[in-house]
Amino acid sequence: MQIAIDFNATYPPQQRHSATSRASAAAAAPKFSTRTHGLLAVIGQYPAGLTDEEGQALMSIDGNSYRPMRVTLMRHGYIEDAGMVRKTKSNRLAVAWQITQAGIHKLKEIG
């Protein structure tokens, strides 16, 4: 099965060697950009940052949808490690992510 994907569009992270991963990314793309901008806005409201678990709870999104958005924001330089960790529900340590100046600029740009 051959799937044509425009990699210049905003797609969730994917495994390019996997047709099913590429197809899932293409199917999710219409909502991905909007939801990712929403995540950036939420993280921007928390100066101490958010762990993935905290962000998932705030946005009512499961981890399999949340993490690709957070990774995308990180790769674009819109968020960064806040330099602190907090415990998760399972008593493990998790990185808190905070918005960067580039992220603040992006929020202003997208309105």
Residue 8 pLDDT class (50, 70, 90 cuts): very low
Query: What pLDDT digit, counting tens, does each position of 57-101 carry?
Result: 999 999 988 998 899 899 889 999 999 999 999 999 999 999 999
Give 10-57 pLDDT, tens digit per residue: 556 666 777 776 666 665 555 557 888 899 999 999 999 999 999 999
CATH topology of domain 19-110: Arc Repressor Mutant, subunit A (1.10.10)
- Give the chain's mean pLDDT: 83
Residue boundaries of the structural domains of the chain: 19-110
Closest by Cα among 56, 29, 28 to 42 = 56
- Element at 13 (helix H, strand E): none
What pairs with residue 86 in β-bridges?
Answer: 94
Work out the pLDDT band at 6, boundaries 50, 70, 90.
Answer: very low
Task: Sort residue 60 into left (φ over 0), alpha (ψ -120 to 50) or beta.
Answer: left
Closest CA to 37 of 96, 108, 98: 108
pLDDT over 50 at 4, yes or no: no
pLDDT interval class at 109 (50, 70, 90): confident
Residue 42: strand, helix, or coil? helix
Residues in the chain: 111
Give the C-alpha separation, 55 to 42, whole Å.
8
